[in-house]
Amino acid sequence: MDLRYSEAEEKFRLELRQWLADVVPKLGPKASSLDWPARRTYDTAWQRMLFDAGYAGIDWPVEGGGRAASPVEHLIYLEELERAHAPYVGVNFVGLLHAGPTIVVEGTPEQRARFLPPILRGDEVWCQGFSEPGAGSDLASLRTKAVRDGDEYVVTGQKIWTSHAEVADYCELLVRTGDDDSRHRGITWLAMPMDRPGIDFRPLKTIAGSTEFGELFLDGVRVPVANRMGEENDGWRVTMVTLSFERGTAFVSEVLQSMGFLRDLREMAKRTGAWSEGDVRRRMGHLGAELDALWALARRNVSQAARTGVPGVGGSVYKLGLSELRQRIGEFGMDLIGGAGLSWDELEGLDGAGPIGNADQVNTWVHGFSRTIAAGTSQIQRNIIAERILGLPKG
């Protein structure tokens, strides 16, 4: 076990740190969380800056526009971005953190050349069309149908919970190409262009009052066969690759971000006097210890991924632990700010306002509820751990 970074890795870190120190303070104000087109503009402009500076696709292959560095350097990269309070991946989440990595592993050379560079340049934004009204946890029961017509698939059906689809250019789409009851054996993974006729997106309002996801209706949408990742009917295997990235490595920066959040809470508690209560200090220390442990687990998963190419089922352990922990951190913040937690609007001058205001606290708490649902619910992660890691019999 070795937690030291090599000289080359440390050099990479220092150069990146220097660059971030130059550019991050000059960035304009973030877009309103409710304005998706503005968010797209902001997030993709930041991605373009990263690309131009050579800091995009750290562990992606060169032909995809990446640096072909190790997953370890990718981890350093995430660490430094968080440390510099650089913008979050935002609308580039799907493209950079799971669709892209899937194409790196599963795509043909042509597909990699076509799809990867625009993601890294911030030119193309991706969304994820996996879930359907009738297929959530039971993803393999999905029914959106794709029928082959020459060198195109004609896709008809409905997706739901598709995050930021209104600003996406491509959708990683799971479709049924096998018989209706073929389940895992009849699924295909397609890259669907979002500008095709037959696509209708209707946003849904979340409990945060925002419209971050919605319903995606597909009516005879034509998708080139060339956009298929892996073989026809082999999409479930490809999906497992996507999910292993989504669960295994996509949330790494959340751990680091949560550490900062916890430190901010401590500063606030010191100002308000809550820190004099032993219970508050112990709760904070406990959450801190758990975050440190998840950071250790993340490094273990990344080490494994560096050896095998794809994060393992350990990602489920990490995803489950982190999402539940995020909820407890959110609760801690809400308990600390008391009455200020009743307002989404920033309340200047109240106890809760500080390095992180009450709006941040409320946001962290409320969004925590989605963490144990999205990317596979906590119950599903427990099923995976019990059956695939512990070998308990299927129910």
Ligand X SMILES: Cc1cc2nc3c(=O)[nH]c(=O)nc-3n(C[C@H](O)[C@H](O)[C@H](O)COP(=O)(O)OP(=O)(O)OC[C@H]3O[C@@H](n4cnc5c(N)ncnc54)[C@H](O)[C@@H]3O)c2cc1C
Give the binding site for another protein (CB under 8 A).
1-5, 9, 72, 75, 259, 262-263, 266, 278, 281-286, 288-290, 292-297, 299-300, 302-304, 306-307, 314, 317, 320-321, 379, 381-383, 385-387, 389-395
Q: Does the annotation count 110 as an active-site position?
A: no
C-alpha to C-alpha distance for 308 and 180, rounded to whole angstroms: 34
The yes or no reply on residue 130 touching ligand X (CB under 6 A) is yes
The yes or no reply on residue 163 touching ligand X (CB under 6 A) is yes
SS3 224: strand
Q: What residues numbered 178-197 form the site for ligand X, per CB under 6 A? A: none
Considering only CA atoms, which of 137, 136, 141, 139 is closest in space to residue 161? 136
C-alpha to C-alpha distance for 166 and 38, rounded to whole angstroms: 12
- Which entry of ligand X, another protein, none binds 346, CB below 5 to 8 A by partner kind? none
Q: Which is nearer to another protein, 217 or 275 (CB)?
A: 275
Q: Which of 73, 79, 82, 246 is catalytic?
A: 246
Tell me which H or E stretch contains 64. none
Provide DSSP, 236-288: HHHHHHHHHHHHHTTTHHHHHHHHHHHHHHHHHHHHHTGGGSHHHHHHHHHHH
In angstroms, give the least distance from the CB of 302 to another protein.
8
Binding part of the chain for ligand X, among 49-57, 128-136, 282-290, 309-317 by CB under 6 A, reads 128-136
SS3 of 340-356: the string is HHHCCCCCCCCCCCCCC
**Quick one: which of 46, 126, 213, 245 contacts ligand X (CB under 6 A)?**
213
Angle between helices 71-83 and 7-23 (to 10 degrees): 30
Q: What residues numbered 352-371 form the site for ligand X, per CB under 6 A? A: 370
CB 98 within 8 A of CB 250: yes
Q: Which is nearer to another protein, 322 or 347 (CB)?
A: 322
In angstroms, give the least distance from the CB of 382 to ligand X.
8
In angstroms, give the least distance from the CB of 295 to another protein.
8
User: Which residue is at the shortest CB distance from ligand X?
Assistant: 136
C-alpha to C-alpha distance for 262 and 252, rounded to whole angstroms: 16
CB 263 within 8 A of CB 395: no
**Quick one: which of 131, 144, 323, 381 contacts ligand X (CB under 6 A)?**
131
Count Cα atoms within 13 angstroms, Cβ side, for 201: 21
CB 76 within 8 A of CB 55: no
- Which entry of ligand X, another protein, none binds 376, CB below 5 to 8 A by partner kind? ligand X
In angstroms, give the least distance from the CB of 351 to another protein.
20
**Quick one: which of 36, 46, 55, 161 contacts ligand X (CB under 6 A)?**
161
In angstroms, give the least distance from the CB of 370 to ligand X.
4
- Which entry of ligand X, another protein, none binds 370, CB below 5 to 8 A by partner kind? ligand X
- Which entry of ligand X, another protein, none binds 288, CB below 5 to 8 A by partner kind? another protein
Q: Which is nearer to another protein, 1 or 207 (CB)?
A: 1
- Which entry of another protein, ligand X, none binds 108, CB below 5 to 8 A by partner kind? none
Looking only at the bridges linking them, the beta strands covering 199-204 and 213-224 are antiparallel
| Phi, then psi, of 231 in degrees rounded to 5 | -80, 165
**Quick one: which of 379, 388, 389, 392 contacts ligand X (CB under 6 A)?**
379
Q: Which two tokens stand for residue 146?
A: 């794709």
C-alpha to C-alpha distance for 272 and 338, rounded to whole angstroms: 11
Size of the site for ligand X (CB under 6 A): 19
In angstroms, give the least distance from the CB of 196 to ligand X.
18
CB 96 within 8 A of CB 36: no
Residues recognised as catalytic: 246
For ligand X, the binding residues (CB under 6 A) are 127-131, 136-137, 161-163, 213, 370, 373-374, 376-377, 379-380, 383
